[in-house]
Homo-oligomer: A and B are copies of this chain.
Amino acid sequence: MHTAGVTLQQVAQQAGVSLATASRVLHGSGSRTVGEELRRRVEAAAQELRYVSNAPAQALARATSDVVGLIVHDVADPYFGAIAAGAMRAAREQRLMVMIAATFREPGLELEYLRSLRAQRARAVILAGSGTADADATARLAEEIAGFEADGGRVVCVGERGPDLDTVVMANRGGGGLAARGLWDLGHRRIGVVSGPAELLTVRHRLDGARRALRSLGAPLAPDAVTVGDFTREGGRVAAVRLLRARPDLTAVLVLNDVMAAGALAGLRDDLGLAVPDRVSVVGFDDVPFAADLRPALSTVRLPLEAAGEAAVRLLLEPSGDEPRRVALAAELVLRDSTATTVG
């Protein structure tokens, strides 16, 4: 396999120059120049032989590559899709190749892929998606990250993972507060939360932001006003139904991501027959592309997902300093049709 490839050696021969010269013409890193005549000959030969350089060989000789890894939970999730799109756009400008790995939400896989990327001698990896509160998994990940960096690679996170890592942080706490206050301003006093798995840091922060805001507003979140579901559409549906059965007095619910919110909307309508927003207001989180197309159009906390992907790639290019770098991205509350004022 892959035996038939044309080598630089052959190009050099055909051009009547040395291997070194051919290398300098075709992949030269600037420091050395090659005379006009020879340069022309080499380029012509490469063209003619349809030479394609051998990236692994280059990576070996240079001890670095143009590959950057992107580890996400799920490629089909619009949240990660948006981040990935931003990252790939930025990567393209830097002529980097992006290698995406999906963990399907298994922390073990995350570790495995990080190792694999390390084996690839990827120049950097972006860890997108929330870290978990599982101390053991976090420690092993930290160890692997340290190893990766020791090998000279860069690691940047999108979303909180730990204080020593370069990260693009999105305003999860801030967004949670924004949503809670937005609901409050609409007159809502009995607000519930449909949360995701508590071990996800993102979820914790969002919930925490909402909780604090509500407390400072003088209406602390009751324990039975929070319910947990899977971070999927179905999880959102089930949890929302459970929440409103337990607390039928709630007039508004904050759902901690849009995909779950889509499920919640369906559950409230189809399973419970509750009108949104007349009977209960719903606010989502993320503002994924389809949020505006749900009916009622979903009010949600917008996170600059694509920008986060781009920021991550930019961060990658800066050498890591002594201080961990942080880029903070703000959230914004987008009120659409799933929220209404209440007299209650």
Contacts and interface: CB of A to CB of B under 8 A. Distances in A.
Contacts of A289: 76, 233
30 contacts: A1-B64, A1-B123, A2-B63, A2-B153, A4-B150, A52-B115, A52-B147, A52-B151, A54-B60, A54-B119, A54-B121, A55-B56, A55-B120, A55-B121, A56-B60, A56-B120, A56-B121, A67-B120, A75-B81, A75-B85, A75-B88, A84-B100, A88-B101, A89-B102, A89-B104, A98-B101, A99-B99, A262-B293, A290-B293, A295-B295
Interface in A25-66: 50, 52-57, 59-60, 63-65
Interface in A124-174: 147, 150-153
A3 interface: yes
Nearest to A117: B97
A84 to B, nearest CB: 5
A55 B153 CA distance: 15
A50 B233 CA distance: 41
Most chain-B CB neighbours within 10 Å: which of A74, A151, A290? A290
A23 B147 CA distance: 21
Given A2-B153, A101-B98, A233-B293, A85 B76 contact: yes
How many protomers of this protein does the assembly include? 2
A295 B64 CA distance: 50
A324 interface: no
Contacts of A147: 50, 52
A116 to B, nearest CB: 6
Given A76-B81, A116-B97, A56 B65 contact: yes
A49 B118 CA distance: 15
Interface in A275-327: 289-290, 293-295, 306
Contacts of A56: 55-57, 59-60, 65, 120-121
A107 interface: no
B100 A98 contact: yes
B88 A102 contact: yes
A325 to B, nearest CB: 19
A25 to B, nearest CB: 16
A254 interface: no
A226 interface: no
A76 B5 CA distance: 34
B151 A2 contact: yes
A266 interface: yes
A265 interface: yes
A63 B1 CA distance: 6
Given A52-B118, A78-B78, A97 B101 contact: yes
A92 to B, nearest CB: 8
B74 A85 contact: yes
A6 to B, nearest CB: 9
A15 interface: no
A177 B266 CA distance: 31
A82 interface: yes
A295 B123 CA distance: 45
B54 A152 contact: no
A176 B266 CA distance: 29
Contacts of A76: 78, 81-82, 84-85, 289, 306
